[in-house]
Structure formats: structure tokens, C-alpha cells
Amino acid sequence: MNLPDPSPRGRRLNPMRLRGRRRYVTPERFAVIARWALWSLVAIVVTGSLVRLTGSGLGCSDWPTCEPGEFVPAADFHGWVEFGNRIVTGLVSAAVVVAVAASWWRQPRRGDLVWWSLGLVAGVIFQIGLGAVTVLTHLSPPIVMSHFLASQVLVSAAVVLQHRASREPPPGRNDTVRLPNHVRTLAWLAATLTAAALWTGTVVTGTGPHGGDEHVVRLQYALPSVARIHGITVAVLAAVTLLLALRVRRLVATTRGETTTELGRRIRIVIGVMAVQAAIGYVQYFNELPVLLVALHVVGATLLTITMTRLVLAAETGRRASAETGVAASVGIAGRGFAE
């Protein structure tokens, strides 16, 4: 008769253990939860864009019910697309609430993780309210634009949470190498231009044909003009990012430190995303904005938000082997490109 091994080696380690009567979460498990919170926020951006691109923005004319007196839509495609997006919003809300609870139960508890998790909850609540306003104002372009831009702020905040969750602060004095001021300034300038590019992109969207419903009034701008302004903003962003890449390449050649090497890798990822985004943007514009390409452009914009946020984090915090813990490696975060 084979008896179970009572030793620690014979028991599976539960990442959410009981200490006395108190439940707690390991740093490794919290890093995984933070990653799930991030990608759930990315998912709601994608489903929200599908609502607009399928013309389902008013598939449910009321909020929080789909129609007056009807919580669930009838057998209607547009109604279920919009209602499905609301269901995904509920799942996202659950994900960020779990992140808050896990940050509180995490051992050791860290105040920064608790506050960043609470920020995600506040952001999702704000987005739910803004979503209601979007429906009740019949997809007013400025409200729809604000809804998308707020989602990008939330995604960026989730990136910061995941970044902090995957790293423990070094004991004692923080001896992380600081990059030159001009490098950090260029990184922040690139981030600011990314925000400007996202905003001008929403103006193009608010002027273009995909308003979420065929009866929605669009912004009264000339589409070629706003598209040109958006293109110029992206071109300036690309120029600043390339200048930053050259500066960091020189630093890598002279210092050969992990800090500059990591930042150089982040910059290359951003440049790759920008190149794909530019290609999609030009192709979609000269092909009368097909739905599939517009959807891919929304995904690309969100990936640009993620990668640019990580670039700024790398420029600000640096990275040294002495400050690393096993958390990032154990959850498969380090060295995975977009999933990092």
C-alpha cells in the first residue's frame, strides 16, 4: 500500500497558502494576477472596437439594461455584440477586483501594488460610467474618443502594476544605475508624442465612416486633413524614437551595462510596433478603411501604448542583476517581448 508522502516534497505548493487562519498570496502568484489584469484590459479595448466597427454601438439603446424593460437583448446581432461587450466589461471588473484583493493578501504586502491595483478599479468604474454616457448620448464622437483614450490610460497603468509586481525592490540602498538625463528626457518626449498620436488618431476615427451606427453624426472635419495631421504626429514620434535609439546605442557601445542593453531592446520593440502600425495605417487609408485593417490598427495602438510604457519604465528605473528577484523568471515575464 502506497501512503502519501507527508514531507514538504510530497505536497504540492499552494501559491495561496494559509498562515494560521490568514490567507496570503505569494509574489509569484500576484505577478501572474497582474498580468491577467493587463490582458483583460487589452481584451476590452478589442471588443469595444468590434462594437463600433460592426455598427453595433446602439445595439442596446439603454443602460444598464439593453432596452427599456429588457436586460438581455432579443435575437439581434447588433444587440448581442453590444451586450457581449458589456459582459466582457464585467469580467474585466472581476479581474481588477481580484488584483486588489491579491495585492492586500500578498506577503510581503507592498503599498505601491495596493495603490496601483486600486487605481485600476477606479479606472474601470470610470470607464463603465463613461460607457453609459456613450450610449445615452448616442455615440457622440467626443465621448467615444474619450472612452478609447481612457482605456489606453488604464492599459498603461496595468503595465506599471505588472512591472512593479514582477520585481522586488533591492534590499538596503537602491543602487540601480541611472541613465543620463537626456536619454530619460527623450523617452518621456516619445511617450508624450505617443499620447498625441493616439489623440489625433481618435480625431481621424471620429471623422471617418466607422461611428458605431449609420445614423451617428461625425466630426465635421475633412478626413484627408486630419489624417495628414495624424501622420505628421506619427512621423515626429518616429524621429524622436530613432534619435533615442541612436543615443542608447552609443551608451551600449561605451558602457555595455544591463540597463542600457534592456532599454535598447525595449526601443527596438517600439520601433517594430510603430513600423507595423504605419504600414497598416497607410494601407487602410488608401483602401477606404476596411473593417479588418481598422481593427488591427486599434490592436496596434494598444500594443504601442504597452511597449512605450515599458520603454519609459526601463529608462526611469534601469535594471541591474543585483536588483533582480526570481519572480519575473518564475512567471515567465522576463524576455518575452510584448508579454513582458
pLDDT tens digits along 175-195:
456 678 889 999 999 999 999
Q: How far apart are CA 308 and CA 90, in angstroms?
A: 27
Mean pLDDT of 21-47: 89
Do residues 55 and 152 share a domain? Answer: yes
* Assigned domain for 89 exists: yes
Coil vs helix vs strand at 286: coil
Q: For the segment 262-275, what is each residue's pLDDT rounded down to a tens digit?
A: 888 999 999 999 99
Q: Which band of pLDDT confidence, cut at 50, 70 and 90, is reported for residue 331?
A: very low
Strand-pairing partners, residue 25, are 16, 106
Do residues 72 and 94 share a domain? Answer: yes
Do residues 157 and 43 share a domain? Answer: yes
Do residues 48 and 104 share a domain? Answer: yes
Q: Which amino acid is at 130?
A: L
Residue, of 172 and 140, whose pLDDT is higher? 140
User: Whole domain around residue 272: which residue ranges?
Assistant: 177-324
Asked whether the predicted pLDDT for residue 324 surpasses 50, the reply is no
Q: What is the pLDDT of residue 22?
A: 58
Strand-pairing partners, residue 70, are 67
Buried b (16+ CB within 10 A) or exposed e, 305-336: bbbbbbbbbbbebbbbeebbeebbebbebeee
Q: For the segment 5-18, what is each residue's pLDDT rounded down to a tens digit?
A: 544 444 444 544 54
Do residues 181 and 319 share a domain? Answer: yes
Nearest to 154 by CA among 106, 198, 205: 198
Share of the chain above pLDDT 90, in %: 50
Coil vs helix vs strand at 10: helix
Q: Which band of pLDDT confidence, cut at 50, 70 and 90, is reported for residue 71?
A: confident
Structural domain count of the chain: 2
* Assigned domain for 263 exists: yes
pTM over cut 0.85: no
Per the CB < 8 A criterion, the answer to whether 307 and 250 are in contact is no
* Assigned domain for 16 exists: no
Q: Which band of pLDDT confidence, cut at 50, 70 and 90, is reported for residue 112?
A: very high
Alpha helices (H) along the chain: 27-53, 77-105, 111-136, 141-165, 181-207, 223-255, 258-285, 291-317, 326-330
Q: Residue length, the chain?
A: 340
Residue, of 328 and 67, whose pLDDT is higher? 67
Do residues 66 and 181 share a domain? Answer: no
How many Cβ atoms are within 10 Å of 277's Cβ, its own excluded?
A: 21
Q: Which band of pLDDT confidence, cut at 50, 70 and 90, is reported for residue 95?
A: very high
Share of the chain above pLDDT 70, in %: 82
Q: What is the pLDDT of residue 168?
A: 74
Q: Which amino acid is at 160?
A: V
Q: Mean of the per-residue pLDDT values for the chain? A: 83
Q: How far apart are CA 72 and CA 62, in angstroms?
A: 11
Q: Which band of pLDDT confidence, cut at 50, 70 and 90, is reported for residue 329?
A: very low
Q: Which of 178-187, 309-318, 330-339 bottoms out in mean pLDDT, i.e. has the lowest?
A: 330-339
Residue 305 phi, psi dihedral angles, 5° rounding: -60, -45
Q: How far apart are CA 285 and CA 61, in angstroms?
A: 31
| Domain termination residue (choose one: 105, 138, 168) | 168
Q: What is the pLDDT of residue 20?
A: 47
Nearest to 274 by CA among 328, 320, 235, 223: 235
Torsion of CA 72, 76, 82, 86, to 10 degrees: 20
Mean pLDDT of 40-56: 89
Mean pLDDT of 207-233: 88
Do residues 135 and 227 share a domain? Answer: no
Q: What is the pLDDT of residue 257?
A: 62
Q: Which of 163-167, 173-177, 244-248 bottoms out in mean pLDDT, i.e. has the lowest?
A: 173-177
Do residues 123 and 232 share a domain? Answer: no
Q: What is the pLDDT of residue 212?
A: 77
Residue 332 phi, psi dihedral angles, 5° rounding: 70, 35
